[in-house]
Amino acid sequence: MANTFASFDKRLRQIDRKNRKLARGYRNKIMPNGLIQPKAVRRFHFPLKGFLLLVAGFFIFKAFMLASVGPVTYEDRLAVLGEGTAVEQGGAWMMQVDPVTAYIARFMGVVG
């Protein structure tokens, strides 16, 4: 009896899983025997929320660095970094002060 219930429960889980996949989108496919079956369509969804959090965290990090060492020292360090290898120059370009970073740093005030 327990084995029968386990197999029934397994079939129910499979049906639920298939219904969840079909709810996200499907297309009908005609099988060789003439039967029409819905097939789930897989779609790629870019994790926009995670990407925006990453960008916001990067700007906050830059602003914290700017507020903690001051604008003059920050620019001096970026100038030294800009004279290095191609990777360091890319880092200097990414870390340069922009309006968003300057605004957040002014909001934070002087940390050090």
Same domain, 85 and 52: yes
Q: Which residues on adjacent β-strands are paired with residue 37?
A: 29
Same domain, 52 and 90: yes
Same domain, 15 and 61: no
Q: What is the DSSP string of the chain?
A: -HHHHHHHHHHHHHHHHHHHHHHT-EEEEE-TTS-EEEEEPP-----HHHHHHHHHHHHHHHHHHHHHH-HHHHHHHHHHHHTS-HHHHHHHHHHS--HHHHHHHHHH----
Same domain, 29 and 70: no
Same domain, 63 and 15: no
Same domain, 24 and 66: no
Work out the pLDDT band at 53, boundaries 50, 70, 90: very high
Number of domains in the chain: 2
User: Which residues form the domain of 99?
Assistant: 48-108
**What tens digit of pLDDT does each residue of 89-105 get?**
999 999 999 999 999 99
Same domain, 61 and 16: no
